[in-house]
Amino acid sequence: MTKLATHLRYMQFYAHNAHNMCQGDTFFADHEELGELYGVYTGLYDSVVERMIGLGQAIDLVKVQVEAAKMLDEDAAPTAFSAAFAGLLTCEQELCKLIAEADKTASLGTQDLLQAMCNDAEMRQYKLQKRLSKSASSESATSEKETEEAEDKKEEDKEATDKSKTGKFTLLTAKR
């Protein structure tokens, strides 16, 4: 369960960084959602650690913190905000794998806790997938609009060049 605790702490760090990096048109919604997520991850981490301590399992909390920070450093955290939601989706998927691994050797009460955590993680995955598909379709629409605007600009430039050439030709023929 130490691996699970470490991963949850990492997720909390990751989501908190993404929360602080929010920007753009969806700032308010993203800031609120990410604030809720890092709060959720903090609570899950606390539940796992307290369960371990309550069951008499050894856990080095400093080592968990250090390992989680190393994981964040290795991933370089989300440097582009657009990658934050994809990173969190991957974290949620990994969380379910770690839960399944821990569940195999857990007591019935701990299995109940872990399974509830996994159930909630699957719901968060669904929400993150929806957020990513919304973002992708928005980016696609923006890209299409930019392409269309670029084509319009190109056509306008061509028309201006054509008028300019026609004007010069008229001017040259008028002098003769």
* Each residue's pLDDT expressed in tens, for the chain with a length of 176 residues: 999 999 999 999 999 988 888 888 888 888 888 889 999 999 999 999 999 999 999 999 999 999 999 998 877 655 566 688 899 999 999 999 999 999 999 999 999 999 999 999 999 999 999 988 877 766 555 556 666 666 766 777 666 656 655 554 444 445 54
The pLDDT of residue 53: 97
Fold designation for 2-139: Ferritin (1.20.1260)
Between the CA of residue 96 and those of 5, 18, 28, 72, what are the distances in Å?
13, 21, 28, 19
Res 17: pLDDT: 86
Q: Where in the chain are the domains?
A: 2-139
Q: What pLDDT, on a 0 to 100 scale, did the predictor assign at position 83?
A: 81
Q: Quote the pLDDT of residue 1.
A: 95
- Write phi, then psi, for 22 (nearest 5 degrees): -50, 145
Angle 102-108-113 from CA coordinates, rounded to 5°: 65
